[in-house]
Amino acid sequence: MLLTSWTLDDTFEQVADLDSAERDKYRAAILAQKSIWLSATSRIVIGLFATGFVSLLIVVFADLVQTQLDTATSSGTVADAINALRGSVAHLSESEPMISAEEETHIAGGS
């Protein structure tokens, strides 16, 4: 191969074209990498918001259930049922006799 100005010009032109192509590939790779990071970050942020929202709902509903249980515990009949479900025995005083539903109908019908 003979080194002439034409061959040097052609070689220089090929190198410039290759350099331009490599720069374009580098820019495309950088843009792809940025879009991957943005996509991953947005998914992480959405996941964190969803987790926070679900946690808030759990806390709110737990507080609501606790409030209902406290209200129910303070009333007599429901408190006895809740205590029975919890396994504790509600003590009835012996001065208060238990009247069943059948006895109530006999008392109401007999009067």
Could you give the C-alpha distances from 13 to 2, 19, 21, 106, in angstroms and in order?
Answer: 17, 10, 12, 113
> In the numeric block, which tokens belong to residue 70?
């406290």
Q: Residue 72 above 80 pLDDT?
A: no
Q: Residue 111 above 70 pLDDT?
A: no
pLDDT digits (tens, 9 = 90+) for 79-109: 677 777 777 544 544 445 555 555 555 555 5
pLDDT digits (tens, 9 = 90+) for 3-46: 778 888 888 999 999 999 999 999 999 999 999 999 999 999 99
> In the numeric block, which tokens belong to residue 33?
């990498």
The dihedrals phi and psi of 54, each to the nearest 5 degrees, come to -65, -40
